[in-house]
Amino acid sequence: MTATVTASIADIRQGGAASLNVKLKVHPVILAGGSGTRLWPMSREQYPKQLIGLLGADSLLQSTTRRLDALDAGHPLADQLMVVANEEHRFTTAEQLRTSGKASHLILEPAGRDTAPALTVAALSVAAQDGDGIMVVMPADHAVTDIDAFHKAVAAGVQLASDGHIVTMGIVPTHAETGYGYIRIGAALGSSGPIDAHRLERFVEKPHLELAQRYIESQEYWWNSGIFIMRASTWLKAIRHFQPAIFEACEAAVANGKADGDFFRLNREAFSASPSNSIDYAVMEQLGGDQTVATGVVVPLLAGWSDVGSWDAIWQISEKDETSNVGRGNVMFEGSHSTFAHSEGRLIACVGTHDLVVVETADAVLVADKSRVQDVKKIVGRIRAEGGPQAANHRKVHRPWGHYDSVDTGDRFQVKRIVVNAGARLSLQMHHHRAEHWIVVRGTALVTRGEERFIVSENESAYIPLGTTHRLENPGKMPLEIIEVQSGSYLGEDDIVRFDDTYGRQ
């Protein structure tokens, strides 16, 4: 890829991109690097909101990919989705894309640098593959209910982007919302098919309530959806013009990156050197005052859009009972009104509650006034500052080989339920501070213990002494389930020395 990237960048530097109005391929680009702290305790650092089924069986990421089914934008569609994701979430992201049946090019960010660098490395990859292409850029964690209307808006945006515009989707607001950014629309450009587009005047960050109300009354401001459409060459020229440091860092990160199985790993040092900036700040806010690079255009999106950014937003788009309650999982309401309750297991009984959010997981319970759900991120910040594990992980932790659930812990001991997928295996490892006792409750385990390798069947066990090299494997065709009892002076997950790992973890 390196030689192709270098050639494509040289072409962009010289302004020699393909001529306008060529039937370029449409490349869907999904930005999946967010954390979603306002949706704690469901969303965690190691299992963020795009990977969670907040609105149904599919995760938000899977719903985003399915939104592209049967898309006809008047241009050929690229063979693969392009997904830019955090390196920490790579295995779960890849598995969810696989189960969705989507062929994907998965680019891994070694560090979070916001959306502008993420979009830049995607544009460089499109340039490397096809010379140029039209990118339809979407966050992985939004919801759209009217897919047909979404497709029509995308088709209109692709038509405008093919002419060299940078297009953003605007949401005609229904109320004064302080949780969204706003776009001030300018003069109408005329019809783009069945949809009227407007010139982009400026972006506005999240306003206070009084200002948001004035925006609504003026009818000149739309919500910013975070969905963008542009040619790869147009974006690269714009980011190089407005943010040369981001361009240079991302160029080096892609050119010096490497393929790793199903992933493309950006060069860590180069990408980490990029300034952190959003698409809005880095480029879109600049377009109103400097149209020498590209014209910013706004296309209305009337498709039941939500950014799913808070528990209140989920309540708003969910089906409600006769008193405006929303219950998910094991929930009962008695004399309640306008309450949202989500249970992951235990019964939640809401009696006489009004305008509340109640969310239960195995290790945390959130109770919040619906008017204060934006402040959930403050609780997450406090948990993180105090070293609480609930900010980063759920009790059930997903791994590339399966998952484990920490069912009990105490002074010098911890009990885990471990499930290993068929044919999968853990790393060859050793612990300095703990011993482990494995009891097989379902399936068959292949155990490496020092120089030994032996089978452990159901209702049998194996003991791993402290400091002994060991590995757990599932040689069977069904999941392996074991109970692990750890004992020792320190039981943290960082007490792992890996000697060999199938999944490339350090």
- Per-residue confidence at 292, pLDDT binned at 50, 70, 90? confident
Residue-wise DSSP of 65-76? HHTTTT---SSP
Q: 354's torsion region: left (phi>0), alpha (psi -120 to 50) or beta?
A: beta
Q: What is the pLDDT of residues 37-90, one digit of tens each?
A: 899 999 999 899 999 998 888 999 999 999 999 898 889 999 899 999 999 899
Q: What are phi and psi of 69, to 5 degrees?
A: -60, 135
Segment 442-456 shows an average pLDDT of: 97
Helix (H, G, I), strand (E, B) or coil at 395: coil
Euclidean distance between CA atoms 315 and 324, whole angstroms: 9
Euclidean distance between CA atoms 215 and 207, whole angstroms: 9
CATH architecture of 2-309: Alpha-Beta Complex (3.90)
Mean residue pLDDT across the chain: 91
Residue 246 burial class via C-beta count within 10 angstroms: exposed 0-12, middle 13-18, buried 19 and up? buried
Euclidean distance between CA atoms 288 and 294, whole angstroms: 10
8 Å CB contact between 342 and 359: yes
**pLDDT score for 193:** 56
Measured in residues, the chain has a length of 506
In sequence order, the 6+-apart residues with CB closer than 8 A to the CB of 133 are 24, 25, 26, 27, 78, 126, 127, 231, 232
Q: What is the pLDDT of residues 194-214, one digit of tens each?
A: 578 999 988 888 889 899 999
- Rounded to two decimals, what is the model's pTM? 0.87
Euclidean distance between CA atoms 306 and 427, whole angstroms: 41
Euclidean distance between CA atoms 232 and 242, whole angstroms: 15
Helix (H, G, I), strand (E, B) or coil at 193: coil
Cα pseudo-dihedral 37, 41, 47, 51, rounded to 10:
-90
Domain ranges of the chain: 2-309, 319-382, 396-500
- Per-residue confidence at 8, pLDDT binned at 50, 70, 90? low
Report the interhelical angle of 232-242 vs 2-13 (nearest 10°).
70
CATH of domain 396-500: 2.60.120.10
In sequence order, the 6+-apart residues with CB closer than 8 A to the CB of 69 are none
Q: Percentage of the chain surpassing pLDDT 70? A: 94
**pLDDT score for 225:** 94
Residue-wise DSSP of 74-138? SSPBPSSEEEEEEGGGHHHHHHHHHHTT--EEEEEESS---HHHHHHHHHHHHHHHHS--EEEEE
**pLDDT score for 174:** 87
Q: What is the DSSP letter of 190?
A: E
* Structure-model confidence comparison of residues 439 and 72, the more confident one: 439
Euclidean distance between CA atoms 13 and 344, whole angstroms: 52
Q: Copy the structure tokens of residue 380.
A: 């997450």
